[in-house]
Amino acid sequence: MNLYFLDATVFAKLFVREPGTAALIELMEKVEDNRKLISAVTPLEVHAALRRQERSGAILGSDALAAFDALRLEAARMVQQPVNPAVLESARQIVDRTALRWPAALQLGTALVSRQMFHGTPITFVSSSAELLSAARSEGLDTLDPAQKELQGHVLKYVEA
């Protein structure tokens, strides 16, 4: 049974409606909480993105407050991989061999360390960043972009968000 590692670009779709939100929610409803992985920094990254959207006027303050509450609840339900020396080293190596910026490398590094921890359990890296998905594939991870109509063999039907 697969584990699903959600990077920040996708985790944010659970709180702000974007292309792929409906497909992601459908997937998350079918996957047990102990099969959903995120980096421990992902809730902070998403919180900061929501706050930027609120400050810019892209979302209302009341919507931001509701999103912050939902963010805390969803993050608590998922397995959070801490940022530790192994994750930081993995991210450093990714920065050295790819053009990824450090936050994206940290996400991918976290997924790679998670793969080692879960000995042989397939991990699907879920992201909306084409560059990050490409790097994850080159590291041997299955990938999924919920905003794409073809969900690479996953049992979801695309729903336009």
Question: pLDDT digits over 101-134, tens only?
Answer: 999 999 999 999 999 999 878 999 999 999 999 9
Q: Give strand pairing partners of 36.
A: 4
Taking the mean position of all CA atoms in its chain, how far away is CA 82?
Answer: 14
- What's the pLDDT at 158? 33
160 Cβ contact list (under 8 Å, min separation 6): 19, 22
Output the CATH code of domain 3-144: 3.40.50.1010
CA neighbours closer than 13 Å in the CB half-sphere of residue 25: 13
Provide the angle, in degrees to the nearest 10, between the axes of the packed helices 42-56 and 61-77. 170
Domain boundaries, the chain: 3-144
Percentage of the chain with pLDDT > 70? Answer: 92
Residue 29 CB partners (closer than 8 Å, separation 6+):
none
Mean pLDDT by 10 residues, the chain (161 residues): 93 88 88 94 95 92 90 94 97 96 96 91 94 96 82 39 30
